[in-house]
Structure 1
Amino acid sequence: MIALRALPFALCALVALPAAALAQTQESNAARNASEAHERDRPHTMVSLSAGLLSLPAANVCPRSRTSCEKGETSLSLGLYNQYRFGRFALGASVTWGTSLLSGTAPGAPELERVHTRNYFLVEGQGRYYAIRTNRWEWWGGITVGGVVVRDAWNVDADRNPYSDVAFVGPRAATLSTEGLAAGVGLGGEWTFAPNWSVGTTLRYASWFLPSEPKQSPTGDSASLSGRVDMLDFGLVIAYRIAL
């Protein structure tokens, strides 16, 4: 009886073991193909994940009013980049998220304890040229073109610390989104530390072209950024190559 009960598990094992071995073989072949494509300048793809700092060094940041501005700010940023590589050239697209390191009080009744926060979202196309290449190091320069969304949010103490007997319906913050265009240049380096794996750094400069007049929310709050804004983005990158 015990043997009959164990029979299905034995059959599953007989099927799973060869399947796992086949999957491992295919993965190894794919890794070798990707490494060979990179070494011989054949087309392949690369996926990169970056983390760093996004800075607006000269921007007039006005989270409270147009007459109460601060000069510049720095935010944490996360980015995802997928590129198609052929020889020394690469084309791809990236998505970047940024969140301000600072939050400040916002106008309103003092008992509401309003707080203002800001986030950034960028979607860009990128083109790169790998000008310097050695055995393990590669250095590139490139251009970026895309769009940016600046999201301002205002919330009150009741939103941040809701009472257990209060039921909220809808969003817990008043938000205002400002959309614009972004164009810039970048450079970076990559060090291959394992087959198909590399780490490196990137440095980008871009101009954001936002509406000249800041948007206004129904509650009378104003978007904190407007006009042309200079951006610097420094990041640490880890990337993986994938064979086509």
Structure 2
Amino acid sequence: MPVVTNVEDLRQLAKKRVAKAIFDYVDRGSYDEATLRANRADLEALTLRQRVAIDVDRRSLRTTLVGHDATMPVAIAPTGLTGLNWGDGEMLGARAAERFGVPFTLSTMSICSIEDVAAAVAKPFWFQLYVMRDRGFAASLIERARAAKCSALVLTLDLQVQGQRHQDLKNGLAVPPRLTLGTFLDVLTKPSWALNVLRGKRKSFGNLEGRIPNTGSLTTLSQWIAG
């Protein structure tokens, strides 16, 4: 087992283990990725303020987030396609967050459904929702989240225009992954990933199944969500 000391170590492990199209979906951004670079630069500019000559005998990062106790002021952000990075990924992520004591946010574009994740954990999680033109479907997702006892609704407000993800287009990303010569050769080098995803409960968007005809096309999905 490699020694992991930071997030970049984890990123490199994922790059080696996960199919390229799926890894790039997580790792890359839209258009020329200017916003992605700016976001990373902003995060890297954050530092912890050193404090000395004070009592540090009882240190704690505990806080409350939207009325719930958390072990630290951090929540797991919504990430689409987690269940294709690793089988049942959203359920595993929710369990890990629950064990550590921080909120987990399930994406609308998750592979595991709201109900899948609710059955996998004992405590409430958060649900992320796009502001869709199809208000009826959005309302049905809210009701499903309410039935699953989600404790917060996280609204995404900046999808009025679909972002063009150049690397996804070059990779021919589809959900579930489409088998081409390129993807076949890539999967041959990632057998543990392929077997793990195959063992997972779902291979497509669990929250959207049966709602739109072509859930395999990310372009169609994005256009449908943005209206």
> Do these two structures clear the TM 0.5 threshold for a shared fold by scoring above it?
no
Q: More strand per residue: 1 or 2? A: 1
Q: More helix per residue: 1 or 2? A: 2
Flag the structure with larger Rg. 1
TM range (shorter): under 0.3
